[in-house]
Amino acid sequence: MKLKTLILLVLAIPFVIFSCKIFKDKTNTPEFVSQVFLEHIQKLEFEEAKEYSTEETKMMLTFFTNITELVPDSQRIPAQETDVVIHNCIIQGETAQCSYTANGKNQTIDLIKQEGKWLVDMKKENAKPDYFKKEE
């Protein structure tokens, strides 16, 4: 009986470790990070979006938060449902560029891999303030 249990454990442990690695890796892809980041942006959830951001992007999100706070609550309308569709991501070493559609517009977003983690890397010259406005 103990031998069967030991054999079962020896076979089960690698399976569990491998399964956890597969699920973990799916959340650390340019596609996943882009999707989650852009959904948070559409919902005006800038603090949540920072989790998927480089330091430069975090500074921009802080700026967006400050600007958004100047808008009266009655005019600040976060998206209830998001319409982000990631089409494809091109990975070149430690960088990636994902094409997506949001608010009826085709756009791209850049990511870099830092310490093994994919992060959105927005540059201020690429930021488009009208992106955050959900078109009716």
Q: Which domains does the chain have, with CATH numbers?
A: 2-122 (3.10.450.50)
Evaluate if residue 104 carries a pLDDT over 70.
yes
Query: Which pTM value belongs to this model?
Result: 0.73
Which pLDDT belongs to residue 130?
Answer: 47
Whether residue 122 contacts residue 63, with contact meaning beta carbons closer than 8 Å, is answered with: no
Share of the chain above pLDDT 90, in %: 61
Place 38 in a pLDDT band, splitting at 50, 70 and 90: very high
